[in-house]
Structure 1
């Protein structure tokens, strides 16, 4: 019988660490990285033997044949034949859910430095993390897992709060390896103190809401801030996250259904009574300036590497117009032997700027979602393939604004308030080309941001959002309620015009 699952949410607490605590935490994270690499090495050997097995190849042929056939009964029969073959091969090569736990426990017992710094529960979590990556590789969802390099482990967790990393929020203490205190080793037991928020603001209300719930388990996060390393306690609580009172009051009212049109730089929403257009980032100018600074640091780092490693580049001349210029290209498969201190300083500055960009983007996304939920009820979203945008000429805008992350956050928060969310297929509807008056679909240039068909002068994005709001899947096809769209434009003509 499977274990019942309960709702969970997380909350982060800063940790108060001394110099001695930071040195011990660094040693434990390095030990976790070594243990992960040892377990992953053995898991990859098993995975390679598993993939070369004839039983697995036969099961894959049955599964691919099942995907090609259109008969449902035949498809089900082929899958039923393939699943036992997969399970037998997994059992033969010890690639089941908990098969790697014994490997991690054995290596931990044989290595004194691992046994001192890593407890048994943390070892199980590391083995489960490796098994998850191997499972994705075997199913074809992910690529081949990579070994962890130095300082690449950013989090360590225990599966329960009873052993391993134990948190006591009433006393404000995190006790790691408390169950092995009898060993008497100076680093076998690590005690850290939690820092609480004593300010009288919304952050304190969120923290008080979290402290009122039961702790399921916790993890310790490692974050690099420039040249400094900060450690944070992330606690997983049982229950639902904190909800803002004003959002609760708004969502209790019957709000309009809004259509959502996602763009590269802003999000547009429209209903039959209103239209909203918000940027992804509140401080867009500051984000652009920080992005320019990151580009400048990258160029400076490239010049530093070139000047200190001239033997790693090939030089050739090429003609550009009437001039002959000299270009330098890095040799393939050669690592840079000389890394200067100036390069490391620039690398820290760039990483700090990128961290600030990510934090500002997350904050802006949360603000935008809260503003939208104050007015939105049910949502109809035009499902966009963001990866195609990123692979084309809009990679920089997608990386800077992260519209897919904002969409996922908006959907998750809307579902928390029991609002319905429906995705509209743009390939079958082509609403950005559609006109509700004449019913024709006309391709437009990307530079054309105004819909002018049938004497209409409307903002292209807001008009698309209005069409999305009045689109439904009826009788196996997507249909637009043209009468409702026309009535909304007649009653509120200024709301859908370009501003």
Structure 2
């Protein structure tokens, strides 16, 4: 029982914004106070969410809501099937009436942002020495967002477990959580926390000097088993170009104008432009992180079984149907923290590698084309049941592990974010009509290929399949539905020269490449 977010109030248009994250210098007693405040914020979130969920259930059970939601869906369906303009106008008018009624119902059940501000204010007053009113309102905004996800998208709203709330923020830099540029200090209800800014950090100094701070956010991270706090300054405008600290020169060149095609896979990315082509894994050291993760998970499993032998059956499975009590040894807790630290390091490493690849891509051109892919769908298990040659059932697993490790969607979002600073965005082609992996621009035909086929023959040339797909994507039509065959023919000779030169260079390297790239080193 959920709706599209069409009868919700439209959000205001957002101005360009970026975030500057800096480390806070905290003493032990200040860390304890911050942890206390984060725990209070978590309880306020859960209390407000509990009230909102009860109100949502009451609204859904009301007769007026059920009647209006039924009518809304009926007219929505009729509008899609309308054949004449008169019918279309009639159904739109009826839909507008239902939207207004549903909005009124939502307001009457206090399921709006401002209503939840009043709800949380009653509890926030009891903790006004730790949580200010603006911070409390931002907590209520997070609850409101969670309720909108539940109401309009059918998602489930979850309570925050102990220790899982990792950030609190204010509304302005004038009161509550605020940062003063003159003293480089964060102020929050009696706490004065110095902000660490290195003398040669030109980027941070330029951001603080030339940009207005909209509001501040305090972020909690667990690094090597210790709580470390950071301040995120949410600043207005476009971030300045980064400079080399020693010389003051710009770190990256200005993005040239030109087309760039990206064929992104679950663990590799292929890029084609007029000046350069390249193919590389998204994060080369991920297998090392995964190997260490498997070792720690096996260690945790052995510890759990040795400490809780009565919770397992003779065949090693966990006893079902009974609420079990689990004992944790000191070594188990220590290993668990090691695993959490490994996840943190892997996340930081992946984001760093993706940022480098994004900068490399933007050095090739500012008109970026990529396939519109649903990585969430690729990560899901297959619904079809298939048998192999021996008659045994094939595994329904697809690319969930690979996508979870390499995070290809993150690379697309980073590129889109960087393009947004110059008021541009990625062009996403239609995957179903484009068929980049099947098309041959010389013969103007389509041919299905197995996933294991990493090379393709085009006009007597042996071409790496992903690089050729990136080349076709680069030469997309303006409607983003098919490749421009004429443009492909004009740029193909240049692409072949860049392709052969790059592949020869890869084969001379000593490092091993993923099998999905299809590159074999020269003997």
Instruction: Give the shorter-chain TM-score range.
Output: 0.7 to 0.9
Aligned to 2:499: 496
- 2 CA distance for matches of 1:5 and 1:434? 40
- 2 CA distance for matches of 1:469 and 1:411? 16
Aligned to 1:250: 254
- 2 CA distance for matches of 1:54 and 1:208? 58
- 2 CA distance for matches of 1:57 and 1:353? 49
1:87 aligns with 2:100: no
For these two proteins, the number of residue pairs brought into alignment is: 464
- 1 CA distance for matches of 2:252 and 2:266? 30
- 2 CA distance for matches of 1:247 and 1:432? 36
Q: In structure 2, do the counterparts of structure 1 residues 174 and 490 end up closer, same or farther at CA, with 3 Å as the change threshold?
A: closer
1:357 aligns with 2:338: no
- TM-score, normalised to structure 2's length? 0.83
Aligned to 1:45: 54
- 2 CA distance for matches of 1:414 and 1:344? 43
Residues 217 and 236 in structure 1, CA contact (< 8 A), matched pair in contact too: yes
Q: In structure 2, do the counterparts of structure 1 residues 209 and 48 end up closer, same or farther at CA, with 3 Å as the change threshold?
A: same
- For residue 228 of structure 1, report the CA deviation from its aligned partner: 0.6
Aligned to 1:310: 309
| Deviates further, 81-90 or 453-462 | 453-462
SS in 2 for 1:362: helix
1:471 aligns with 2:476: yes
- Deviation readout 1:220-268 (Å, 9 max, x if unpaired): 11101132110111111122112247587532x4x32121111122211
- 2 CA distance for matches of 1:454 and 1:5? 49
Residues 257 and 376 in structure 1, CA contact (< 8 A), matched pair in contact too: yes
- 2 CA distance for matches of 1:330 and 1:445? 43
- 2 CA distance for matches of 1:166 and 1:10? 15
- Deviation readout 1:299-331 (Å, 9 max, x if unpaired): 11122122222333333xxxxxxxxxx332353
- 1 CA distance for matches of 2:493 and 2:252? 32
- Deviation readout 1:454-489 (Å, 9 max, x if unpaired): 544211111111111222145xx8343223323333
Aligned to 2:407: 402
- Deviation readout 1:395-433 (Å, 9 max, x if unpaired): 222111111010111122123234463211111121211
Point out where structure 1 has 5 or more consecutive residues left out of the alignment: 178-188, 316-325
- For residue 356 of structure 1, report the CA deviation from its aligned partner: 0.5
Residues 256 and 378 in structure 1, CA contact (< 8 A), matched pair in contact too: yes
Q: In structure 2, do the counterparts of structure 1 residues 328 and 239 end up closer, same or farther at CA, with 3 Å as the change threshold?
A: same
- For residue 8 of structure 1, report the CA deviation from its aligned partner: 1.9
Over aligned residues, Cα RMSD in angstroms? 2.3
Residues 247 and 374 in structure 1, CA contact (< 8 A), matched pair in contact too: no
1:164 aligns with 2:153: no
1:56 aligns with 2:69: no
Aligned to 2:197: 196
SS in 2 for 1:334: coil
| Deviates further, 298-307 or 267-276 | 267-276
Aligned to 1:227: 225
- For residue 272 of structure 1, report the CA deviation from its aligned partner: 4.7
- 1 CA distance for matches of 2:197 and 2:230? 12
Q: In structure 2, do the counterparts of structure 1 residues 156 and 305 end up closer, same or farther at CA, with 3 Å as the change threshold?
A: same
Residues 31-430 of structure 1: matches in 2 within 5 Å?
A: 31-68=40-77, 69-71=80-82, 72-109=88-125, 111=126, 114-143=127-156, 145-177=157-189, 189-198=190-199, 200=200, 203-244=201-242, 246=250, 249-251=253-255, 253=256, 255-272=257-274, 274-281=276-283, 284-285=284-285, 287-315=286-314, 326-331=315-320, 334-391=323-380, 392-419=397-424, 421-430=426-435
